[in-house]
Structure 1
Amino acid sequence: MNKIVKQVRRVILRFFRKEKLRPQFNKYNGYSKPLYNKWIRTSQYLTVRDGTKLAFDLFRPVKNGKVVIDPLPVIWTHYRYHRADVQAGRLKKFFAKHSWSKIFIKYITFIENNTKLNTQLDKRGWLKRLIAHGYIICVVDVRGGGASYGTSEFPFSPSETRDAYDITEWFAAQSWSNGCIGMFGMSYMGITQYMAASTLPPHLKAIFPEMALFDLYDFVYPGGIFRHKFAEVWGDELEQLDKNQPAAPVDQDHDYSMLMKALEEHKANRNIFEFFDSLSFRDSTDQISDIQIYTDCSPSGYLEEIKQSNIPIYHLAGWYDAWCRDALILFNNLNNPQKIVIGPWSHLNTDGLDFACEHLRWYDYWLKGIDNKVMEEAPIYYYVMGAAKGEEWRAAWQWPIPNVKEKRYYFHEKHNETVNSVNDGLLSSEFPMTNEGQDHYRVDYTTTSGTTTRWANVYGGAFQYPNLKFNDEKALTYTTNLLSLDTEVTGHPIVHLWITSTHPDGDFFVYLEEIDDQGNSCYVTEGVLRASHRSISNPLFNNLGIPYHRSFAEDIINLPDNPVELIFDLHPISYIFRKGNRIRVAITCADQDNTLTPKVSPPPIISLYRNANYPSGIILPIAEENQD
């Protein structure tokens, strides 16, 4: 009887998803006609309130050989990495004449010999479709970057955020603008949209942030552990872009004198690695600016202002991006008109997504007043990895989704011979029956999730997790028996570790993996925590029931001699573990290619407890139709 009930429920749920909630995601029904097939680019400076000149590119549609003069909606992005790249022998000769470095000249030579002027329309071709549908596109170099004047103090500084307000209102006041301004962009350019919204610009009518963070601290110091590789690589990239590689000059800068002055001012930009390395707690204060960076320069510090703006927001995220959890927290804390889409994507990979379509649907509704029903659709649209073809995309009205039940799995001693790890333990829903039981682990600082992770992808690296079996062999592992059903995990896994250590602190990396019949280990998701940051606090926002580690300096507690519990989340996921495969939890104490764990000699020995008194394990959010 139970099987029949489950089958009926499954049919009802699938019907409900398909017939009642399915939005017109990634389909454009032609409410706005493509009237223009050409455009013109111009480039100039605008001046913000403190007198700083910011360079921007302006792309306007052309009809019958003439620039369209009718006022149109303007969509802009606050760009960090050069709004346009340079080319021209004249520029090379000019810099050579003024004794610039050899590396600078080599760069100019490379540009001249290999490329043309490269604008954002070249890099993001879908923007051309927006122009065709009657939108003006603007790309603005941030202060201290590209051809803009000024100094970049640090990411998302108060001065940079004030610029966003001034830029928005300047565009709204131009004769070619209809006063309806939108924003677009991913990563840094996604975060700047939330920061712009926090300033309440009257003419900012809609934003579309992609792959953007909510909490700067939780990214730079996840669980209190320094993501040094990101700070190092990204910092070097910005150093080169701001000081050693020229952006394209604006049209009026015929002798490059304005670009030269801008580059001189860039020399005062702060070193990103040194900046973040000096700010290891959430309440750390920057000694130069006297600002608490993780509060004053992060969307997490401006929730109330963003809500007050009531600016419509279309969040776009990927399950393998660094900031999927951030997008879901933002969605659950804002009451603005909003949508969220989460695909099977990493930071730099959004295969299968028609960007022009989704942006047009959003901007048509909010900037042109076209009633395309976009706000009548379910606000959440997410991809289930491993689902049957045609059933991967699901719609929902709330998050966490309602048809999910938390199921707790515990760590056990029993060996199931699935991997030659330190302990090869069992993962089971059965509660431990003994009052004793623990596994000992000597920290191995060579463990790593690889160099092509979601974290590397954020700073431009490749994305492709390796077979984690080889990392698991250096880890503590707990693996289920063969699954009797396909098992869908959708939500936020939570891990509970009872531990002691021979050292007063330690880093803990937990991986959720799927094991196939050949013993290969596929990465699903992960979470991290430094033991001294284990104190749990009440956040000032809805944290979706996820344990919140405030990580203030005063919260840091060394490990005692007796067992303590570490409770932390893994990044959210929607993933089906296949029948006949296994679920594994792997635990290490280092991820050498992605985070900085201080090395201790001799390496500490960790004891992980798995008994009735200290029941270590993991809680998985499992779709009810997949429950045993």
Structure 2
Amino acid sequence: MSALPNRMPLSSPRASTAADIFHIGNVSASFTSATSSHLAEANPTPFNQTSKVLAKGSYPVSKLYPPLPCDILFESDVAVELRDGTFIYTDIYRPANTTNLTSPIPAIVAYSPYGKRGGFFNYDIFQPPNAIERMDVKYEWVSGLEKFEGPNPAYWLNKGYAVIHPDPRGVFNSEGDILMFGQQDARDGYDLIEWVAARSWSNGKVGMTGNSWLTVAQWWIASERPPHLAAIAPWEGWSDFYEDLVFRGGIPNFPFVDVLVTHLYGNGSNKIENISEMMSHAPRINDYWLDKAAKIENIDENLPVYAVGSWTNALHTLGTFQAWERLRTSNKWLRTHTTHEWHDYYTPTHVADLHKFFEKYLNNVDNDWETTPRVRLSLLNPGHDNIIDQPETKFPLSRQKIHRYYLDASTTSMSPSAPSTVSSATYNSTDNGTISFRMKFEHATDFVGYATVRLWVQAPDHNDMDLFCYLQKSNATTSKVIPILVLGSDTYVGAQGRVRVSLRDHRKPGTNGIYQYVNDEPSFLNENEIVPVDIPFWPTAIHYEAGEELTLLIQGWNSQKQPEFQNLGQPSIKNVGRHTFYTGDGYKSYVEIPQVIPAK
């Protein structure tokens, strides 16, 4: 792309030149009016194409944050022309001494639609009783200049980097309509990366980092292979919007989607993809939803990737690990943690670790980053201290062995031997009933990776059932489930699998739990019909001491909460009346667990 002037006039959207975002393959995408950025809740900032220096030692946002460690040149609302003629606007932070640069610098892009400044989402809105205060993102770790879930400009500029904060297509003053991922958004990101690399102050190397949506954007944009994208650091984010979030296990999840869409802001006259409408009227896999699954295999096989994931994330766990496994690059590293995504992202030691990665691949510094363990595994250990940064060579672990434990409804137990006698257990789904099966480990063991459960089920009062299964750890003496705490909150209740039974043949787990869509028609239950259903769990890593128990909890409702949105509603559940589970001869029900001998 040719270099553009740094200043362009604000224009209205030009439908005649814009890309066709209203048709994805053979599907018409639904759009609705975007929430106006003129609302007070959007915390709007005036459109102002200017530049100014934020002085070292000053407090540009609030004295709650540390003073700036260096002079910062802040350029606001810089115009970027995309390949279809649409203009988006970005803020640029770079060291003030780079105006007459003799040594060009790398740039880090934080790509998301939450607002380059302003926006609804910020850490201060997360407060008790519905969240942990600021999700333990300490004021001294940030500057207030950072995008929500993005890198702190004050830190990175002090290290000699530029930080780029775009408002993507349709967001705030950027032209067009707001997109929710997909190839068009990825192409827009490609154009931005190449525009940044062409700046006079740039060394031609652009990196990306950030959490959640900013991670999702990295999967998509990297799959388009921008030539000047030199490294990415995806810090927890889904990679298949359909399976990871909106229809996990076939069960629609409207509450989070509605919170997300209604808090993305346009210019007052444009539109945003109507995800809820698409969920209601096009719930089965089609071209629209396939466009919202990142093409991980397309990412350059030489692109350095430093990925971070956790087991306790209610949104991002599966997508993060599946994306990392599918990456073809040999230059990939994975670190797992046991806290919360935002807390982990801004923890100073982790920021320093990311700096070392970017120094290697954006500044060509010989710093031995490549000797970093390819996988740093952290294991949950409820009731004891978690195990942090255990070095491994790959994930899933090559030394894992799959152990099968059979369920016995007559004793609500599990064991390596299948019961011969048929038995059943029932709960009332209308009354939030549950069933638990337990098994004691005789020796210490680590449960690491993807588990599955096969159940034989019946819904005597209905033609469908929604099932939620959890794998937990119980006390050796009381058999009471030990809470797994995330920043002191027990919102994570164990590895979860869920399924709408009528969609049991809609998708099956493939290699390492990666889903394959095989059928798009529901198979409703006939009266008194007993059917097998296989339910994959999201990956986890939990350490069990000798005598501690593995507990399988089965119920008809979701008890895992998002620690940052603890008051969100339930997915759209279809349960009515009794759920019955059969075990024994002819109905062999079991859970399969990947186990390893604990590292010394």
Structure 2 CA distance for partners of 1:226 and 1:86, relative to 1, 3 Å: closer
2:423 is aligned, of 437, 445, 461, to: 437
Distance 1:316 1:202 in 2: 24
Whether the 8 Å CA contact 1:222–1:529 is kept in 2: the answer is yes
Structure 2 partner of 1:140: 166
1:584 is aligned, of 536, 546, 551, to: 551
Structure 1 partner of 2:118: 85
Whether the 8 Å CA contact 1:378–1:396 is kept in 2: the answer is yes
Structure 2 CA distance for partners of 1:407 and 1:120, relative to 1, 3 Å: same
Structure 2 CA distance for partners of 1:538 and 1:272, relative to 1, 3 Å: closer
Alignment of 1:458-473 (within 5 A): none
Q: For 1:326, give the aligned amino acid.
A: G
Distance 1:186 1:273 in 2: 24
- Does residue 1:47 correspond to 2:5, yes or no? no
1:623 is aligned, of 571, 596, 600, to: 596
- Does residue 1:514 correspond to 2:490, yes or no? no
Higher helix share: 1
Structure 1 partner of 2:542: 575
2:233 is aligned, of 199, 205, 208, to: 208
1:557 is aligned, of 503, 523, 540, to: 523
Offset at residue 320 of structure 1 (A): 0.9
Offset at residue 168 of structure 1 (A): 0.9
Identity of aligned residues (%): 22
Whether the 8 Å CA contact 1:156–1:192 is kept in 2: the answer is yes
Q: Name the larger-Rg structure.
A: 1
Distance 1:589 1:427 in 2: 21
1:120-140: CA deviation from partner (whole Å, max 9, x where unpaired): 279767442221221111110
Offset at residue 382 of structure 1 (A): 1.4
Structure 1 partner of 2:413: 426
Structure 1 partner of 2:344: 350
1:538-595: CA deviation from partner (whole Å, max 9, x where unpaired): 78xxx434373526424x3223454321112111111113444322111112238431
Distance 1:355 1:146 in 2: 32
Structure 1 partner of 2:70: 37
1:334 is aligned, of 323, 327, 330, to: 327
1:271 is aligned, of 271, 274, 287, to: 274
- Does residue 1:226 correspond to 2:249, yes or no? no
Structure 2 CA distance for partners of 1:177 and 1:484, relative to 1, 3 Å: same
Whether the 8 Å CA contact 2:230–2:362 is kept in 1: the answer is yes
Whether the 8 Å CA contact 1:325–1:572 is kept in 2: the answer is yes
Whether the 8 Å CA contact 1:225–1:530 is kept in 2: the answer is yes
1:126-157: CA deviation from partner (whole Å, max 9, x where unpaired): 442221221111110111113322211x4014
Whether the 8 Å CA contact 1:535–1:549 is kept in 2: the answer is no
Offset at residue 597 of structure 1 (A): 0.9
Alignment of 1:229-244 (within 5 A): 229-238=255-264, 242-243=265-266
Structure 2 CA distance for partners of 1:544 and 1:325, relative to 1, 3 Å: farther
Distance 1:188 1:293 in 2: 19
Structure 2 partner of 1:364: 359
Offset at residue 48 of structure 1 (A): 1.4
Offset at residue 220 of structure 1 (A): 1.0
1:70 is aligned, of 103, 110, 113, to: 103
2:439 is aligned, of 480, 483, 492, to: 480
- Does residue 1:530 correspond to 2:500, yes or no? yes
Q: For 1:158, give the aligned amino acid.
A: Q
1:383-408: CA deviation from partner (whole Å, max 9, x where unpaired): 01229769532121122212322222
Distance 1:400 1:408 in 2: 18
Q: For 2:553, give the aligned amino acid.
A: A
- Does residue 1:320 correspond to 2:290, yes or no? no
Distance 2:107 2:189 in 1: 14
Distance 1:589 1:71 in 2: 57
SS for the counterpart of 2:177 is coil
Offset at residue 174 of structure 1 (A): 1.1
Higher strand share: 2
Q: For 1:163, give the aligned amino acid.
A: D
Distance 2:445 2:162 in 1: 47
SS for the counterpart of 2:75 is strand
SS for the counterpart of 1:178 is strand
Distance 1:440 1:209 in 2: 43
Offset at residue 520 of structure 1 (A): 4.4
Offset at residue 175 of structure 1 (A): 0.5
1:293-316: CA deviation from partner (whole Å, max 9, x where unpaired): 2211321xx2332246x4222111
Q: For 2:381, give the aligned amino acid.
A: G
Distance 2:471 2:449 in 1: 13
Distance 1:278 1:338 in 2: 39
Q: TM-score under structure 1 normalisation?
A: 0.71
- Does residue 1:187 correspond to 2:215, yes or no? no
Q: For 2:533, give the aligned amino acid.
A: L
Distance 1:272 1:611 in 2: 43
Whether the 8 Å CA contact 2:405–2:416 is kept in 1: the answer is yes
Q: For 1:41, give the aligned amino acid.
A: F
SS for the counterpart of 1:567 is strand
Structure 2 CA distance for partners of 1:159 and 1:549, relative to 1, 3 Å: closer
Structure 1 partner of 2:8: none
Distance 2:151 2:258 in 1: 30
Whether the 8 Å CA contact 2:405–2:590 is kept in 1: the answer is yes
Structure 1 partner of 2:40: none
SS for the counterpart of 2:257 is helix
Q: For 1:70, give the aligned amino acid.
A: S
Structure 1 partner of 2:296: 303
- Does residue 1:607 correspond to 2:580, yes or no? yes
Offset at residue 230 of structure 1 (A): 1.2
Tell me the number of residue pairs that the alignment of Structure 1 and Structure 2 aligns.
Answer: 481
Offset at residue 498 of structure 1 (A): 1.0
1:61-103: CA deviation from partner (whole Å, max 9, x where unpaired): 134x97756311111121210111289xxxxxxxxxxxxxxxx
Structure 2 partner of 1:56: 90
Whether the 8 Å CA contact 1:79–1:141 is kept in 2: the answer is yes
Structure 2 partner of 1:95: none
- Does residue 1:595 correspond to 2:571, yes or no? yes
1:492 is aligned, of 435, 441, 450, to: 450
Offset at residue 273 of structure 1 (A): 2.5
Distance 1:390 1:559 in 2: 43
C-alpha root-mean-square deviation of aligned residues, in Å? 2.8
Offset at residue 510 of structure 1 (A): 0.4
Distance 1:86 1:529 in 2: 35
Structure 2 partner of 1:255: none
Alignment of 1:404-415 (within 5 A): 404-415=400-411
Offset at residue 275 of structure 1 (A): 3.4
Offset at residue 349 of structure 1 (A): 3.7
Distance 2:578 2:148 in 1: 54
Distance 2:543 2:517 in 1: 32
Q: TM-score under structure 2 normalisation?
A: 0.74
Structure 2 CA distance for partners of 1:402 and 1:212, relative to 1, 3 Å: same
Distance 1:545 1:121 in 2: 34
Q: For 1:58, give the aligned amino acid.
A: I
Structure 2 CA distance for partners of 1:498 and 1:528, relative to 1, 3 Å: same
SS for the counterpart of 1:269 is strand
Distance 2:404 2:182 in 1: 43
Offset at residue 526 of structure 1 (A): 0.9
Offset at residue 531 of structure 1 (A): 0.9
Distance 1:594 1:489 in 2: 28
Distance 1:579 1:333 in 2: 35
Offset at residue 325 of structure 1 (A): 2.4
Alignment of 1:116-135 (within 5 A): 119-120=145-146, 126-135=152-161
Whether the 8 Å CA contact 2:110–2:166 is kept in 1: the answer is yes
Distance 2:148 2:518 in 1: 42
Task: Give structure 1 stretches of 5+ with no counterpart.
Answer: 1-35, 88-116, 244-262, 284-291, 416-424, 448-473
Which of structure 1's runs of 4+ aligned residues deviate more than 6 A? none
